[in-house]
Chain A
Amino acid sequence: MMSPALAQSVEMADVMRSNGKIYVVVAVIAIIFIGLMVYLVCMDKRVKKLEEK
């Protein structure tokens, strides 16, 4: 099953890596994630404000 010796024959996404497009994928996902986290932070602040009233 596991054949490290034949690792080269397993298809990986080397094309996307070689032409740099993988960084676009990373950037997109990172931006979505950061956007969601900013949303969470804003929610947290809003709730905190309501709690302090």
Chain B
Amino acid sequence: MQIKWWKILGIILVLYSIIAGLLMPVPHLNILNETIRNLYFHVTMWFSMIFLMLMSMVQSVKYLSGFDKVRDLKAEALASTGMFIALLGLTTGMIWAQFTWGAFWVNDPKLNGVAVTMLIYLAYFILRNSIENEDAKARVSAIYNIIAFVMMIVFIGVLPRMADSLHPGNGGNPAFGTYDMNNSMRMVFYPAVIGWILIGSWIAQLRFRIKVLEINKENK
């Protein structure tokens, strides 16, 4: 693996979203004011996390059908990078909440759902660490990873939409997609999402490659 085209593309897209995201016009909305630009940074973190967790689950499924250890390592690398990105999304969301809703945290289905999801994934890493035997570790954590992903979809995708929520896109709020986002925002948002997905994948790939190097060194 070397400097691939998709890595450069990720850099270009995110750089574009930073420049255009701050300079280009956005809808003038009450409460949000300029912070609506956070869409390009806070929301993109979550899209990136979901993609990474999805890829992680796919690796876990593939592991269970061939027991190729490489897949287990990839699943772990993708999940840990996803956790890191989730942490970024969480902290940026809390700062955004403080300025627009008046509190770092509110009793909101989406926020609580995110917190639960992160705890579930945290348990995935604790589970891995608790099993000594490599094969057992890989097998059990692959199964858990799949369940964790399904739970994530439920807690951050399904349940918030069924309840009243302050969060755009849930409950009584019109989603960012319908009213608040116009085409000039979409022009920055979609490239930003792709860019951060690519960069998140790059980080995960690096983690995986380093892990492989460590294991090879151990086995020498």
Contact of A29 among B18, B206, B213 (CB under 8 A): B18
Bound CA span A29–B14, Å: 11
B70 vs chain A, min Cβ distance (A):
14
Knowing A26-B18, A26-B23 are in contact, say whether A40-B203 is a contact too (CB < 8 A): yes
Using CB atoms, name the residue of chain B closest to A14. Answer: B34
B57 vs chain A, min Cβ distance (A):
25
Knowing A12-B28, A13-B34 are in contact, say whether A33-B213 is a contact too (CB < 8 A): no
Bound CA span A41–B203, Å: 10
For residue B23, which residues in chain A have a CB less than 8 angstroms away from its CB? 22-23, 26
Interface code A20-53, partner B: CB below 8 Å = 1, 0 otherwise? 0011011001100110010011011101101100
Using CB atoms, name the residue of chain A closest to B209. Answer: A47
A48 touches B2 (CB 8 A): yes
By size class, the interface of chain A is: 20 to 34
For residue A30, which residues in chain B have a CB less than 8 angstroms away from its CB? 15, 18-19
Knowing A29-B22, A30-B19 are in contact, say whether A10-B1 is a contact too (CB < 8 A): no
B11 touches A2 (CB 8 A): no
Knowing A2-B179, A12-B28 are in contact, say whether A47-B206 is a contact too (CB < 8 A): yes
A12 vs chain B, min Cβ distance (A):
6
Query: Total A-B pairs in contact (CB under 8 Å)?
Result: 64
B174 vs chain A, min Cβ distance (A):
8
Knowing A33-B15, A44-B2 are in contact, say whether A2-B213 is a contact too (CB < 8 A): no
B206 touches A40 (CB 8 A): yes
* Subset of 30 A-B contacts with CB under 8 Å: A2-B174, A2-B179, A3-B30, A10-B28, A10-B29, A10-B30, A12-B28, A12-B33, A22-B22, A29-B18, A30-B15, A33-B14, A33-B18, A34-B15, A40-B199, A40-B202, A41-B3, A41-B7, A43-B206, A44-B3, A44-B202, A47-B206, A47-B209, A47-B210, A48-B1, A48-B2, A50-B213, A51-B1, A51-B209, A51-B213
User: 18 extra interchain contacts, Cβ-Cβ under 8 A, other than A22-B23, A41-B3, A44-B7?
Assistant: A1-B174, A7-B27, A10-B29, A10-B30, A10-B33, A12-B28, A22-B22, A23-B23, A26-B18, A26-B19, A26-B22, A29-B18, A33-B18, A34-B15, A40-B202, A40-B206, A44-B1, A47-B213
Chain B residues with a Cβ under 8 A of chain A? 1-3, 7, 11, 14-15, 18-19, 22-23, 27-30, 33-34, 174, 179-180, 199, 202-203, 206, 209-210, 212-213
